[in-house]
């Protein structure tokens, strides 16, 4: 068992920071419950028979467990001692993410239930937790392998295969405690208004009390920029307006990722500050103009990389905060200016680092897992939980300036016919729910394959054609309003017709290059190493192909961006720019040079 005391000790929610908090990562009691009979067998009321290092999942090496078999259910138990100076306040127990269906008990009393493996939830310990005394917290996480479930790239076969990887069960993000007054702030919604040179704030409250006010103070390196306050005894979510004077205005973007500091306060009738939260905001605007997606009114070609956020030792959990930073730095060193955060809701600290480094990202949901078999006309049946879980992700991440678009679904493949199916209903529900929650960013209904919503803000395709000239011919129709669209091999349609929206190729490349396997393997044993198409014979051939493929898209004046597959190798999938351990694999300067060539859509705008 590792000897770490508190792994991942940093504050897990950088855009909503309270001073008083307690990280409860570290050693917890742990027991596997393969038959999901633990409640009947008394696991709720007794010590568990093993240990685990939270927040690493039990399948991972870093957890100290390393059990990669199917885990139908797992149990956690820990005695938490609350600081004496928290007396008189409610105690909140936060979970960054637990996969997949979770129940939490405190001293044997159920305090929370949550479905979904990617999004946070909170247990209000209420009157159970008194300051300075012990509270026994027990967590059960169920993670079935059958039925529709938003599981991202987790394998539903025993072993890793194709582009599916070792499963993650149970707690895989930080667990922490914080005290709050009965009246307190909830997560704000920070909306930049670049045209009006201001920020608009919505400040949800736990409830309204007579005489209370909310206050916001915006600052930069020179000090206070502006402040505003509003009554907090009327609206459940008071609104504040924070104007930014011209001489203090700095636009957030890749070239200058400027962040303003933001302090939020809830003040009672006597003038006492009941709740203080530190936050930040970036002043920027995302728009659509013709075929371009604009940032601050100008086309910025999105040179994105597919980032799946897996690690050899922690699986979906980064071993350190520095590892999150390093992934962004590696991408930027290779010439990428952003990423699709693919098939996983990344932990929020990744977005914090993207915000401060000027890295453009598309927020995505880990929706793979809705395949139910049956006919090609009704083979995918995501359920209502997909919509709820996705909205939890959008709510968590709404205020991050680095997010420039939302992608609820990925590669939903199902024949388009004259019957409305479950996939049609859920795709439309996720699209409309995203637009209702956030009108400031473009939304793509599904990345690749099945565009079921005709009015999707942007349109895309996935293509792993490896020959640059064939790729150019494939993409040539965009100029005439007839872009490449994914379809069944027999030509049957997945998608509603293209309507002239901004268009990009959101997956391409995936060039198969594994120097060691190329030397050692005979044939193409894809259980050991694989990528898309025929493996290149040497590194020079890789760069020739990479330069050719990216050139096709950079030179297209109607293409607003691309997303190259992928940042790193992941287990058997050997098509990354870097190795799975983030080691050097290719001449990164050559990759950077190929990508930083001028993009036609930017040149047309005079950039």
Q: Encode pLDDT of 220-272 as tens digits.
A: 999 999 999 999 999 999 999 999 999 999 999 999 999 999 999 999 999 99
The C-alpha atoms of residue 260 and residue 100 are separated, in whole angstroms, by: 36
As a three-state string, the secondary structure of 351-412 is HHHHHHHCCEEEEECCCCCCECCCCCCCCECCCHHHHHHHHHHHHHHCCCCCEEEEECCEEE
pTM (2 decimals)?
Answer: 0.96
Q: Encode pLDDT of 169-210 as tens digits.
A: 999 999 999 999 999 999 999 999 999 999 999 999 999 999
pLDDT of residue 2: 40
Q: How many residues does the chain have?
A: 607
Residue 27, pLDDT > 50, answer: yes
pLDDT of residue 3: 44
Confidence of residue 1 (pLDDT cuts 50, 70, 90): very low
Confidence of residue 526 (pLDDT cuts 50, 70, 90): low
**Beta-sheet pairing, 170-171 with 98-99:** antiparallel
Q: How many CA atoms lie within 13 A of 145 on its CB side?
A: 14
Flag the least confident range among 99-103, 344-348, 603-607: 603-607
Q: Encode pLDDT of 273-283 as tens digits.
A: 999 999 999 99
What distances in angstroms separate CA 469 from CA 98, 409, 553, 601, one per listed residue?
Answer: 46, 30, 12, 20
Q: Encode pLDDT of 393-424 as tens digits.
A: 999 999 999 999 999 999 998 889 889 999 99
Residue with tokens 């950039």: 607
pLDDT of residue 146: 83
For the chain, give the mean pLDDT: 94
Q: Encode pLDDT of 410-460 as tens digits.
A: 999 888 988 999 999 999 999 999 999 999 999 999 999 999 999 999 999
Confidence of residue 605 (pLDDT cuts 50, 70, 90): low
Give CA 505 to chain center in angstroms: 20
- Tokens for 183? 């009246």
**For 110-121, what is the mean pLDDT?**
97
């Amino acid at each position: 068992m590792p000897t770490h005391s508190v792994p991942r000790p940093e504050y897990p929610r950088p855009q909503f920071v309270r001073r008083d908090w307690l990280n409860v990562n570290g050693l917890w009691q742990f027991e596997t419950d393969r038959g999901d009979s633990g409640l009947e067998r008394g696991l709720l009321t007794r010590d568990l028979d093993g240990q685990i290092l939270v927040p690493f999942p039990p399948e991972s090496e870093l957890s100290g467990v390393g059990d990669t078999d199917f885990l139908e259910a797992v149990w956690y138990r820990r005695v938490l001692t609350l600081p004496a100076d928290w007396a008189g306040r409610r105690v909140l127990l936060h979970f960054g993410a637990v996969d997949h269906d979770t129940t939490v008990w405190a001293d044997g009393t159920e305090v929370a239930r949550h479905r979904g493996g990617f999004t946070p939830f909170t247990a209000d310990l209420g009157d159970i937790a008194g300051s300075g005394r012990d509270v026994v917290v027990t967590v059960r996480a169920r993670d079935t392998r059958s039925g529709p479930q938003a599981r991202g790239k987790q394998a539903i076969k025993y072993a890793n295969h194709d582009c599916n990887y070792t499963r993650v069960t149970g707690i895989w993000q930080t667990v922490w405690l914080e005290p709050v007054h009965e009246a307190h702030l909830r997560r704000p919604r920070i909306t930049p208004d670049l045209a009006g040179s201001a920020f608009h704030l919505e400040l949800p409250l736990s409830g309204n009390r007579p005489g209370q006010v909310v206050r916001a103070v915006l600052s930069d390196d020179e000090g206070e920029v502006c402040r505003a306050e509003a009554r907090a005894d009327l609206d459940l979510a008071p609104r504040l307006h924070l104007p930014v004077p011209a001489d203090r205005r700095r636009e957030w973007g890749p070239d200058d990722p400027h962040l303003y500091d933001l302090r939020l306060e809830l003040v009672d009738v006597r003038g006492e500050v009941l709740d203080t939260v530190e936050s930040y905001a970036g002043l920027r605007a995302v728009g659509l103009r013709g075929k371009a997606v604009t940032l601050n009114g100008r086309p910025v070609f999105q040179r994105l990389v597919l980032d799946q956020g897996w690690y050899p030792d922690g699986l979906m959990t980064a071993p350190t905060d520095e590892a999150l930073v390093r992934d962004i730095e590696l991408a930027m060193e290779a010439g990428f200016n952003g990423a699709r955060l693919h098939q996983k809701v990344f932990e929020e600290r990744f977005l914090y680092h993207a915000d401060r480094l000027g890295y453009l990202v598309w927020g995505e949901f880990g929706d793979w897992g809705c395949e139910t078999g049956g006919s090609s006309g009704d083979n995918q049946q995501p359920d209502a939980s997909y919509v709820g879980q996705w909205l939890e992700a959008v709510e968590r991440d709404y205020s991050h300036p680095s997010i420039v678009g939302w992608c609820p679904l990925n590669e939903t493949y199902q024949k388009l016919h004259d019957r409305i199916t479950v996939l049609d209903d859920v795709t439309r529900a996720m699209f409309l729910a995203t637009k209702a929650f956030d009108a400031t960013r473009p939304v793509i209904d599904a990345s690749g394959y099945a565009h079921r919503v005709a009015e999707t803000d942007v349109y895309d395709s996935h293509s792993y054609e490896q020959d640059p000239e064939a790729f150019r011919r494939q993409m040539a129709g965009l100029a005439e309003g007839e872009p490449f669209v994914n379809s069944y091999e027999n030509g049957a349609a997945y998608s509603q017709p293209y309507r002239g929206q901004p268009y990009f190729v959101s997956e391409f490349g995936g060039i198969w290059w594994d120097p060691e396997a190329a030397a050692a393997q005979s044939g193409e044993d894809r259980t050991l190493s694989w990528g898309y198409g025929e493996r290149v014979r040497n590194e020079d051939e890789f760069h020739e192909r990479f330069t050719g493929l990216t050139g096709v898209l950079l030179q297209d004046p109607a293409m607003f961006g691309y997303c190259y597959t992928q940042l790193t190798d992941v287990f058997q999938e050997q098509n990354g720019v870097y190795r799975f351990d983030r080691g050097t694999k290719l001449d990164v300067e050559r990759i950077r040079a190929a990508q930083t060539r001028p993009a036609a859509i930017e040149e047309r705008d005079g950039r």
